[in-house]
Copies of this chain bind each other. A is one copy, B any other.
Amino acid sequence: MLSREENELLTRVGPGTPMGNVLRRYWLPAVLAEDLPAPDCPPVRVKLLGEELVAFRDTNGRVGLLDEYCPHRLTSLFLGRNEECGLRCVYHGWKFDVDGNCVDMPNEPADSRFKEKIHITTYPTEEYGGIIWAYLGPPAKKPELPGLEWLRAPQTHRYVSKTLEFANFVQAIEGGIDTAHSSFLHNNDLSRKGLRQIDTAPRLEVEDTPYGFRYAGIRDLKDEGQYVRVYHFVAPFHQLRSLRVQGADPTDKRDVPVAKGHMWVPMDDHTTMVFNWMYATEEDRPLSPEQIARDEEAAGRGPAGETAIRHRVRENDWGIDREMQRTKNYTGIHGVNNQDLAVQEAMGPIVPRWREHLGSTDKAIIAMRRIMLQAARDIEQDIDPPGADPDTYWDVRPTDVVLPQGVDWHEGARELLVARR
């Protein structure tokens, strides 16, 4: 439970807000690299932390991220022409390069020097791990690119898609770092008892780290041992989890072992762009297109390239099928991530946390809030937030494993928790 004031502090991300200032100290995923597939391709709109921007890839393949509105008369550069190393406003032809210089101003006399005075707001970008990253913060504070193992993986071993969510990013994160709900919300076969149904009240052990925290959700399988899932929360919005145990999903037999996760990037206070990723953790076993397609289908997403388009939304009750709910799965909603979106969006755009009643499985949620609220208070004192330095999480990997009873997971899963260098 948070106070109303804490809830505001935690969730508001616009320019000048404390949490907005925290988030402006990290590299943020802006779009997929494939959203800008080639030099001089069409520009795309980007919204980050309440700021309206436009991204384009220039003739040389460099990516620019500009204020959406031309400084001349303020129409949208989304309508612009991407040509010859610059984005041109269609209203009067003003042209900007990826650094924000006005490189052509054809409606002024040839000898005019007006264009030298004109710069458009730009933010630094980097292409990395299949994603265009943006940094919206103070230049002097710009960190290294995030060093998560999946981002360092070769393209053959990773996959990333994105989904638009109509809710604040914090309640999306809270779903992501909540291992308990998978026993219920994601119980997709009422006819059998998976590992997560044998024990539906996992014991959580949360450990603060320099990058945020990690925690183990431990399920007691009685004679079968203990089922341990270790998650990482890397500030400000990264979730890392694993789903490799055979018993958890027998269809995985066909598949290479993967780790998975999400990044929940605030577009504004009420809208989040979710980046969904997975990577194949074994060096000699890349992802196959079939496995990717199967996984996206299980998540409830469409084929590649359409992943940001939603068909199951509040207005159609997320496609709930009451007969399916009665006989097949817990929710009557198709797709693991659609189930997440349904419960998160059903809370309203910003959930009133002063009304909630947290229990023992909410320890990770409480930790995340504590760390992020502290970061919001610290940033006002010029104290750097956690998780900006990739060295602090370079080595981490999530896992899940069934261990014998009595074995401490720190020992039993030690090797599984180490990333490839």
Interface residues of A (CB under 8 A from B): 42, 69, 71-76, 78-79, 81, 89-93, 105-110, 112, 114, 117-118, 174, 180-181, 183-185, 200-203, 317-318, 320, 322, 325, 330-331, 333, 339, 342-344, 346-347, 351-353, 355-362
With a cutoff of 8 Å between Cβ atoms, the chain B residues found around residue A117 in the complex are 357
With a cutoff of 8 Å between Cβ atoms, the chain B residues found around residue A355 in the complex are 69, 71, 74
State whether A107 and B361 are in contact (beta carbons under 8 Å apart), knowing that A90-B330, A90-B343 are contacts in the complex: yes
In the complex, the chain B residue whose C-beta lies closest to that of A184 is B93
Shortest 7 CB-CB contacts between residues of A and residues of B: A76-B346, A75-B343, A93-B184, A42-B322, A106-B200, A107-B180, A91-B343
Q: Which of B106, B201, B317, B344 sits near A107, CB closer than 8 Å?
A: B201
A296 to chain B, nearest CB (A): 22
Please state if B107 and A183 are interface contacts (CB–CB under 8 Å).
Answer: yes
With a cutoff of 8 Å between Cβ atoms, the chain B residues found around residue A174 in the complex are 73
State whether A71 and B357 are in contact (beta carbons under 8 Å apart), knowing that A183-B93, A184-B106 are contacts in the complex: yes
Q: What is the CA–CA distance of A73 and B107 in the complex, to the nearest angstrom?
A: 57
In the complex, the chain B residue whose C-beta lies closest to that of A346 is B76
Please state if A185 and B91 are interface contacts (CB–CB under 8 Å).
Answer: yes
9 A-B interface contacts by CB (under 8 A): A69-B355, A73-B351, A75-B344, A93-B183, A107-B180, A107-B361, A108-B359, A108-B361, A112-B201
With a cutoff of 8 Å between Cβ atoms, the chain B residues found around residue A110 in the complex are 201
With a cutoff of 8 Å between Cβ atoms, the chain B residues found around residue A359 in the complex are 72, 105, 107-108, 112, 114
With a cutoff of 8 Å between Cβ atoms, the chain B residues found around residue A107 in the complex are 180-181, 183-184, 200-202, 359, 361
With a cutoff of 8 Å between Cβ atoms, the chain B residues found around residue A343 in the complex are 75-76, 79, 90-91
Q: In the assembly, how many copies of this chain are there?
A: 3
In the complex, the chain B residue whose C-beta lies closest to that of A71 is B357
Q: Which of B79, B203, B325, B353 sits near A320, CB closer than 8 Å?
A: B79
Please state if A361 and B92 are interface contacts (CB–CB under 8 Å).
Answer: yes
With a cutoff of 8 Å between Cβ atoms, the chain B residues found around residue A42 in the complex are 322, 325
Q: What is the CA–CA distance of A106 and B107 in the complex, to the nearest angstrom?
A: 66
With a cutoff of 8 Å between Cβ atoms, the chain B residues found around residue A356 in the complex are 71-74
A250 to chain B, nearest CB (A): 23
Q: What is the CA–CA distance of A212 and B117 in the complex, to the nearest angstrom?
A: 32
Q: Which of B75, B92, B317, B330 sits near A180, CB closer than 8 Å?
A: B92
Q: What is the CA–CA distance of A343 and B79 in the complex, to the nearest angstrom?
A: 8
A365 to chain B, nearest CB (A): 8
Please state if B93 and A346 are interface contacts (CB–CB under 8 Å).
Answer: no
With a cutoff of 8 Å between Cβ atoms, the chain B residues found around residue A333 in the complex are 79
State whether A74 and B351 are in contact (beta carbons under 8 Å apart), knowing that A90-B331, A183-B93, A322-B42 are contacts in the complex: yes
In the complex, the chain B residue whose C-beta lies closest to that of A73 is B356
State whether A347 and B74 are in contact (beta carbons under 8 Å apart), knowing that A79-B331, A107-B361, A322-B42 are contacts in the complex: yes
With a cutoff of 8 Å between Cβ atoms, the chain B residues found around residue A203 in the complex are 109
Q: What is the CA–CA distance of A105 and B358 in the complex, to the nearest angstrom?
A: 12
Please state if B106 and A347 are interface contacts (CB–CB under 8 Å).
Answer: no
Beyond the given A79-B342, A81-B330, could you list 10 further A-B residue pairs with CB under 8 A, ordered by the A residue number? Answer: A69-B347, A69-B355, A72-B357, A78-B346, A90-B330, A90-B339, A107-B183, A107-B201, A108-B201, A109-B203
Please state if B81 and A112 are interface contacts (CB–CB under 8 Å).
Answer: no
Q: What is the CA–CA distance of A71 and B359 in the complex, to the nearest angstrom?
A: 11
In the complex, the chain B residue whose C-beta lies closest to that of A343 is B75
Q: What is the CA–CA distance of A74 and B7 in the complex, to the nearest angstrom?
A: 14
Please state if B357 and A81 are interface contacts (CB–CB under 8 Å).
Answer: no
Please state if A109 and B184 are interface contacts (CB–CB under 8 Å).
Answer: no
A167 to chain B, nearest CB (A): 11
With a cutoff of 8 Å between Cβ atoms, the chain B residues found around residue A78 in the complex are 317, 346
